[in-house]
Amino acid sequence: MNSHFEIHAKDGAARTGAIKTPRGEIRTPAFMPVGTAATVKAMLPEQVAQTGADILLGNTYHLMLRPGAERIARLGGLHQFMAWQKPILTDSGGFQVMSLAKLRTLTEEGVRFRSHIDGNEEFLSPERAMEIQRLLGSDIQMVLDECPAFPASETDIEKSLALSMRWAKRSKVAFGEQPGHACFGIVQGGVFPHLRERSAHELKEIGFDGYAVGGLAVGEGQAAMFETLEATTPHLPTGRPRYLMGVGKPFDIAGAVLRGIDMFDCVLPTRSGRNGQAFTRAGTLNLRNARHAEDDAPLDESCRCPACRQFSRAYLHHVVKANEIIASMLLTWHNLTYYQDLMADLRAAIAENRLAAYVAALHSTAPVDSESVD
């Protein structure tokens, strides 16, 4: 294994531990802020580190289109390019090809598509996806898979799964020997337990440094997602990290941790910050709402971020309504801090064997601020 995973404590199916890499330790359960195009929007790298993040996520699809993997390699690799020296995980681009690309044509060899940026024709195969990630120099590299849209029939999911497993084998071969770097497989199979089990076993036969669960949080709903995780994680190796891709909301993360997941990523905290929403221990606040206009209280009295230490809700309401850039900066910083504090609390709860009680308390927080805006 090119990265060492240690489990420090368990609470039911949940685990807390660390993934040890040459670029640093990743405490698990871990949340990876999304730096799709070599930047976490509205944040400096050192600010992201101050929130408590141990690892960032970048994306093969976006970086191959702009500025190009070869250019990043010539400029010293992704870590140097974006001034982030801690670990980076890169997604292989399969989901973005499905969700963003135009006129895609899928074959056994790979997927041909037109860029959503300029319409140019592009081609991505398992070999090219791994080559791009090698050029970027990411610490954890994901296999290329097909991400079928939801809903889809069992027949279509089974056909897609078979292709993804063949691509996984090719991706592992293309990954080759990269000391200090890890390659993760991706479990597919829709919401069909027997297909998830089949995918997990086929990936274990190939052998990966970690195992992601893909194809969820695409519209199936929380209950179906949790049921799918319960049918999947028991078939994954205990001694390898488990990564739920693209999730998500705080309650989704907590529920997935209960079911044995170790790693997460999602655009939600950063995107919400840019849209005037803040996650707090008392619920989610919409800073556009008139009720905050003269409120001199902080967003969250327990939060350590600059938005809470230095500014009032009234000020944040003002800069959000005025579309000032600082609004995106402060609320993104706050939301990422909230997410990292959530992960720290989950790690502590597992270590102290009180995870179920912690998750129950989390669900008792106030509902989303839904008051009409002025």
Concerning whether 91 is annotated as a catalytic residue, the answer is: yes
User: Closest Cα to residue 256, out of 158, 145, 355?
Assistant: 355
322 and 35 in contact (C-beta within 8 Å)?
Answer: no
3-state secondary structure of 31: strand
Within 10 angstroms of residue 41's Cβ, the number of other Cβ atoms is: 17
Structure token digits, residue 180: 């200090």
Length of the chain: 374
Q: How far apart are CA 115 and CA 346, in angstroms?
A: 39
Cis peptide before 248 (omega within 30 of 0): yes
User: Closest Cα to residue 90, out of 243, 196, 216?
Assistant: 243
With 0-12 / 13-18 / 19 or more C-beta atoms within 10 angstroms meaning exposed / middle / buried, residue 120 is exposed
H-type alpha helices, 19-125: 45-50, 60-65, 69-74, 78-82, 94-99
What Rg do the C-alpha atoms of the chain give, in angstroms? Answer: 20
88 and 38 in contact (C-beta within 8 Å)?
Answer: no
260 and 242 in contact (C-beta within 8 Å)?
Answer: yes
Q: Catalytic residue among 11, 54, 91, 300, which?
A: 91
CA atoms within 13 A on the CB side of 362: 23
Strand ranges (DSSP E) for 127-176? 140-142
Concerning whether 118 is annotated as a catalytic residue, the answer is: no
Q: Catalytic residue among 54, 262, 265, 341, which?
A: 265
Query: Which residues participate in catalysis according to the annotation?
Result: 91, 265
